[in-house]
Amino acid sequence: MCAVHPSRRPAQEERTTVPRSSTRPTSRDVAQAAGVSQAAVSLVLGDKWHGRVSAATAQRVRDAAHRLGYRPNLAARNLRLGHTRTVLLVVPALTTEFFAGVYTGAARTAAQHGFGVVLYPSPEGIGPARNPFASAQAALDGVIASSMAADALTAIRGDQLPLVMLDSDPEGSLGAATVNLDIADGTRQIADHLLGLGHRRFLHLAADVPSWTFDVRARELAARTATVPGTDVRTIRAPLSIEDATTATETALATPGPRPTAIVCDDDKLAVGAYKALRRHGLRVPADISVTGIDDLALASAVDPELTTVRLDAELFGERGMQALLAVLDGRRPDRSDIPVHLVVRGSTAPPAHT
């Protein structure tokens, strides 16, 4: 039998006396380190501490949890409480980057509070849709939905969950809360800009979509231009596509009567369609006709001349939608103020050649 070399014995003994890896820290460990109760730890790490513990205490708990490497067992907590910490974001079909921005903002805010967001584009942007879950009520904690995709809510039974509506009439909303961009003010900014340049003959290229947000644009444009004598607004409608907007604008240009000096479009895609129609008719933007949009999509700075439009902060819209839903879930009152919007003046608007 071979003898064990004496120099190896201490190492062998050291291996047998090293304690096993430390166990995972618990909420009790965090409570002891922070000098608070376990209930306070649960409130802070569950983001339900507002109004219950001080901000200084909440920070002390977070610091202790970080120092100890503590992570709540969300799966066990969710099972115990009956929550999935999952939210459904229902939007129209993803035909522009605007709703991608809404998702980005909502998901970022959700992640800060331990929630996940599932994006669900409603087929064709409108109408009923198949339920993406075996039972939405069992799989979700809440829903954020654009008014343009509201019909999909019935099919997924999302209207029976805590619900926040985006771009929705606050007086008749299905949801527990509504979050809106200040579209009315954006339309007023466009009208004031064009009226200030001297325009009096307007063509309103309206989205052919039954939605509160587009109704607001039409109403505010009519109201603002009516304050200036001698102003005329003619309206044509088109689905939200460049091709349909091109066709509708060509039809309007071929209609007998004085030619408009400005085309006010309900969104940037419609404005790009108007550009195409004007060029086919040998008309220049803005020398012959000024054009405006709403959204400030990438398209707005890709066309020539660049488009005067209203900038809508899609990511902030998503953030505010998620914040409102978190407030509803926590029994708090959401922020009801509209999100400001801003007119971005570019090369597509100028004084009319002939007034």
- Choose one of 72, 101, 128: the last residue of a domain: 72
Same domain, 122 and 137: yes
- Please count the other Cβ atoms lying within 10 Å of the Cβ belonging to residue 226: 11
- Whole-number pLDDT of residue 70: 78
What is the distance between the alpha carbons of residues 350 and 262, in angstroms, rounded to a whole number? 9
Q: What is the C-alpha to C-alpha distance for residues 303 and 278, in angstroms, rounded to an integer?
A: 13
Same-domain pairing of 174 and 323: yes
| Claim to verify: residue 193 and residue 298 sit in the same structural domain | yes
* Distance separating alpha carbons of residues 178 and 166, to the nearest angstrom: 6
| Residue 61 domain boundaries | 24-72
Question: Are 218 and 265 contacting, i.e. CB atoms less than 8 angstroms apart?
Answer: no
What is the layout of strands, in order, in the sheet containing 177-179? 116-121, 86-91, 142-146, 163-166, 177-179
- Give the per-residue pLDDT at 230: 95
pLDDT band at 74 (very low <50, low <70, confident <90, very high): very low
The number of distinct structural domains making up the chain is 3
Residues 187 and 309 grouped into a single domain: yes
Provide the sign of the torsion angle of the four alpha carbons 227, 273, 237, 235, taken in this order. Answer: positive
The pLDDT value recorded for residue 256 is 92
Rounded Cα gap, residues 300 and 310, in angstroms? 10
> Whole-model pTM above 0.85?
no
Short-list 100, 122, 96, CA closest to 317: 100
pLDDT tens string 32-58? 999 998 888 888 877 777 788 898 998
- pLDDT band for position 152 (cuts 50, 70, 90): low
In a domain, 5, yes or no: no
Do 192 and 275 belong to one domain?
yes
Q: What is the Cα–Cα distance from 270 to 241, expressed in whole angstroms? A: 6
Q: Are residues 129 and 273 in the same domain?
A: no
Do 30 and 146 belong to one domain? Answer: no
Which H or E element spans position 253? helix 242-254
In a domain, 153, yes or no: yes
Q: Is residue 334 part of a domain?
A: no
* CATH classification at residue 127: 3.40.50.2300
The pLDDT assigned to 158 comes to 54
Same domain for 274 and 307? yes
Residues 214 and 135 in one domain: no
Sheet holding 342-344, edge to edge: 232-238, 201-207, 262-265, 290-295, 308-311, 342-344
pLDDT at 280: 96
In a domain, 348, yes or no: no
Asked if residue 265 lies in contact with residue 293, where contact means CB atoms within 8 angstroms, the answer is yes
Residue 13 lies in a domain: no
Residues 6+ apart with CB under 8 A from 282: none
pLDDT tens digits along 247-290: 999 999 999 999 999 999 999 999 999 999 999 999 999 999 99
CA–CA separation, 107 and 136 (whole Å):
19
pLDDT tens-digit readout, 316-348: 999 999 999 999 988 888 988 999 999 999 999
pLDDT given for residue 8 in this prediction: 40
- pLDDT tens-digit map of 93-124: 766 789 999 999 999 999 999 899 988 886 55
The answer as to whether 335 is a domain residue is: no
